[in-house]
Amino acid sequence: MFVTGDTPMRLLRICLFGVAIGITASIAAHGEEPKPAPWRHIDQSQYVGAVKCSECHLSHYDGWKDTAHNKMIRVPVAEGPNKNILADFAIASEHRQFELKDVKWVVGSRWKQRFIGDVDGKEVVYPAQWSVKDKKWQAYEGKTDWWYPTHKDWKERSNFKLCAGCHSTGSDAYSEKWTELNISCESCHGPGKEHSAKPKIENIVNPARLSTARSMDVCLACHQSGKPPGDDYAWPVGYQPGLKLKDFWQPFVLEQGKPSTELWPNGAAHKNRVQGNTFEKSVMHASGLQCTNCHDAHGSRFQSMTIKSVESNALCLTCHGPGKDQGPNYQNISEHTHHDALSTGSHCIECHMPKTGANSVSGEARNHTFDFVSPAQTLANKSPNSCNGCHADKTPDWALTEVKKWYPKLK
Ligand code: HEC
Ligand code: HEC
Ligand code: HEC
Ligand code: HEC
Ligand code: HEC
Ligand code: HEC
Ligand code: HEC
Ligand code: HEC
């Protein structure tokens, strides 16, 4: 889906405005933001698409092809082996003002599905979503999103302005088009026309050769809650891999002690899509780790593209545990977890990445601060903790008492 060549008007815009925009406003201070600067232009003629890359990088392509990144936004298929509609349109719902025949794109498949269609000549997001976990229709009004006050009417809620930049590749504010649906190679490697014609290391972005901060930015462009300047768009307009994300995107920061849509007062994930906000606060990030230490963007055989199994603890034990540089030290893992070695209660991520965040329902998104979340946090501010997710029939007081028997100094 390529766009036409440069018009004189567009060339003028490139000359005048083709510089990164600076954002000075603090998001916390409402209503004092500067007017959005003119957007940086994306030269869509430089994008070639994943199939082109596959000519020389077949194994990367084959791995990526089956990842969630390549299944984000699709033409709806309701029957047969390629069925991608999980929602049940036979179930009536007061929230749903549309039918399957009205759906142009289906978005998502793991936690929830949202639907896009043309209404009054505009491509918009319908105000109902399907929860995969609850198998139910839910209202999708966006009431907790920062953009709600300026996008109240769903019939005006543009897929391009509010969503497309994170669900497709090469989106440009001037053409109002993307170059490719889904999160494809060039979302993370930048445009590859020159590289495909004359492959060199210098003419393609390899995140592994960027600084840790610029490399992380590639993922944070979509995996960090925040906002660009102005109220029109909800994605980092004009950002491309290799650039400094902060010039396009102001991440939401925790106001000490205050709960927000995005984060609990202790900084843990309150919703999905805050891996950036939470991981940046972690001890691991402070010591130089980044997303790709645990995730392989070209796919893996494990859930969420982790490079090793989390059920066997292999991922964490790459660097942690007996004989490794990082603790904990033990003869038997139960000394650290106080659960049977084969119990789920001995899985590192269950205590260090509890599901504190809401997605389509609460308790679906894993926290990326990697802190043990003490039951004391639940007593203080109702945040979910690392124990009661499994011990749902017990109180946080019980959990705090039990864990203090093991870790007396724990707060
Ligand atoms: C015609 C074949 C060809 C095509 C098409 C091609 N590449 Fe490459 N690519 C290469 C070769 C060859 C190298 C190694 C270059 C070298 O070592 O000098 C390379 C290297 C790379 C690297 C690693 C650079 C580094 O720092 O080591 C990345 C990333 C990459 N390609 C991504 C892509 C992407 C993304 C696309 C599609 C937009 C693409 N390539 C299309 C041949 C190709
Ligand atoms: C979600 C982001 C993302 C997507 C999508 C993506 N890559 Fe990558 N790619 C990376 C990262 C990050 C690295 C560096 C890996 C590392 O840290 O070792 C990389 C590295 C590479 C390399 C260098 C060799 C290597 O494996 O380290 C090649 C070649 C490459 N990617 C090709 C592709 C192709 C072709 C596609 C599309 C079919 C693609 N990538 C899609 C993020 C991505
Ligand atoms: C700033 C980037 C960004 C924007 C803007 C954005 N999303 Fe997403 N979205 C993501 C990421 C990243 C995820 C993956 C979930 C996670 O990281 O926790 C996601 C997840 C989803 C999912 C769940 C996918 C699944 O498999 O269950 C749906 C549905 C979705 N988004 C729809 C939308 C719609 C509709 C809009 C516009 C109103 C939108 N998103 C705007 C980045 C974004
Ligand atoms: C252009 C936006 C974009 C970029 C860049 C991006 N992601 Fe994503 N990511 C998404 C969206 C959207 C989803 C949800 C896909 C779905 O559920 O279908 C997602 C899903 C994921 C998932 C969950 C996969 C699963 O199997 O459910 C992981 C892990 C992930 N991304 C890691 C990364 C990492 C690591 C990087 C950087 C190397 C990265 N992403 C870059 C948008 C992006
Ligand atoms: C690539 C190596 C690596 C991997 C993989 C890794 N870690 Fe770490 N981890 C570190 C390093 C390095 C530190 C920082 C230690 C320091 O600076 O004190 C750390 C710190 C931590 C801390 C904080 C310890 C403290 O003193 O506060 C926790 C908790 C933690 N990691 C849990 C995990 C979990 C859970 C996993 C698996 C999901 C994991 N780590 C995977 C390298 C790794
Ligand atoms: C049943 C819950 C639970 C499980 C499972 C668990 N931990 Fe912990 N972990 C804790 C608690 C509680 C602390 C102490 C936290 C504090 O003091 O704030 C801790 C502390 C740590 C620390 C920092 C202190 C130290 O001893 O170095 C690291 C690193 C760590 N855990 C890694 C892991 C790894 C790796 C695994 C999996 C092999 C794991 N944990 C499994 C509960 C757990
Ligand atoms: C120390 C390892 C580690 C690091 C670093 C890390 N993750 Fe994860 N991530 C995990 C594990 C483990 C899971 C859960 C895997 C599972 O469910 O089996 C996960 C899950 C996810 C998911 C799926 C959503 C969910 O709630 O389960 C996304 C998206 C994601 N990570 C993105 C990122 C991004 C973006 C970064 C960098 C900002 C990052 N991760 C850094 C280990 C890590
Ligand atoms: C991933 C799920 C999971 C998590 C997280 C978890 N547990 Fe457990 N816990 C279990 C299971 C399963 C058992 C049953 C015995 C076993 O397998 O060890 C158990 C048993 C126990 C027992 C002994 C039996 C009982 O019910 O009295 C105590 C005490 C306990 N857990 C406390 C905790 C505390 C405190 C935490 C938080 C630090 C915690 N658990 C986190 C799954 C979990």
Q: Do 333 and 291 reside in the same domain of the chain?
A: yes
In a domain, 3, yes or no: no
- 81 to each of 100, 117, 375, how far by Cα in Å? 18, 24, 45
In a domain, 260, yes or no: no
Question: In degrees rounded to 5, what are phi and psi of residue 276?
Answer: -65, -50
- Residue 180's nearest CA partner among 16, 310, 20, 51 is 51
- Residue 69's nearest CA partner among 173, 166, 177, 179 is 166
Query: So what's the pLDDT on residue 37?
Result: 65
Q: Do 245 and 126 reside in the same domain of the chain?
A: yes
Q: How many domains does the chain have?
A: 2
Alpha carbon 6 to its chain's center: 32
For residue 345, report the distance from its CA to the centre of ligand 8, in Å: 6
- Residue 93's nearest CA partner among 125, 128, 118 is 128
Please tell me whether residue 113 adopts helix, strand or coil conformation: strand
- Residue 129's nearest CA partner among 145, 292, 120 is 145
Give CA angle at 73 (171, 85), nearest 5°: 165
Give CA angle at 107 (105, 112), nearest 5°: 140
Q: Do 241 and 279 reside in the same domain of the chain?
A: no
Ligand 1 close to Cβ of residue 58 (< 6 A): no
Query: So what's the pLDDT on residue 21?
Result: 37
List Cβ neighbours of 149 (8 Å cut-off, separation of 6 or more): 231
- Residue 271's nearest CA partner among 155, 146, 163, 375 is 146
* Residue type present at position 101: K
Among candidate residues 251, 284, 314, the one where a domain is terminated: 251
Q: Do 214 and 289 reside in the same domain of the chain?
A: no
- 326 to each of 315, 322, 347, 404, 409, how far by Cα in Å? 13, 8, 17, 23, 20
In a domain, 153, yes or no: yes
Nearest residue CA, atom 26 of ligand 2? Answer: 60
Within 10 A of 288 (CB to CB), how many other CB atoms are there?
8
pTM: predicted TM-score of the whole model, two decimal places? 0.95
Q: Do 215 and 318 reside in the same domain of the chain?
A: no
In a domain, 320, yes or no: yes
In a domain, 267, yes or no: no
Cross-strand bridge partners of residue 226: 251
Residue from 310, 334, 339, 388 whose mutation best tests the ligand 8 pocket (most atoms within 8 A of CB): 339
Q: Do 301 and 192 reside in the same domain of the chain?
A: no
Cross-strand bridge partners of residue 124: 117, 158
Among the atoms of ligand 7, which is closest to the Cα of residue 357?
26
In a domain, 134, yes or no: yes
pLDDT-flagged residues of the chain (< 50): 1-32, 34
Please state whether beta strands 105-107 and 168-169 pair in parallel, antiparallel, or not at all (unpaired).
unpaired
**Tokens at 276, concatenated:** 């950036």
For residue 249, report the distance from its CA to the centre of ligand 3, in Å: 16
Q: Do 196 and 280 reside in the same domain of the chain?
A: no
Q: Do 237 and 310 reside in the same domain of the chain?
A: no
Q: Do 67 and 212 reside in the same domain of the chain?
A: yes
Among candidate residues 185, 218, 251, the one where a domain is terminated: 251
Q: Do 202 and 303 reside in the same domain of the chain?
A: no
In a domain, 316, yes or no: yes
Q: Do 302 and 401 reside in the same domain of the chain?
A: yes
Q: Do 231 and 334 reside in the same domain of the chain?
A: no
- Residue 349's nearest CA partner among 389, 382, 322 is 389
Among the atoms of ligand 8, which is closest to the Cα of residue 389?
5
In a domain, 263, yes or no: no
Among candidate residues 236, 251, 266, the one where a domain is terminated: 251
Domain with 297 in it: 275-406
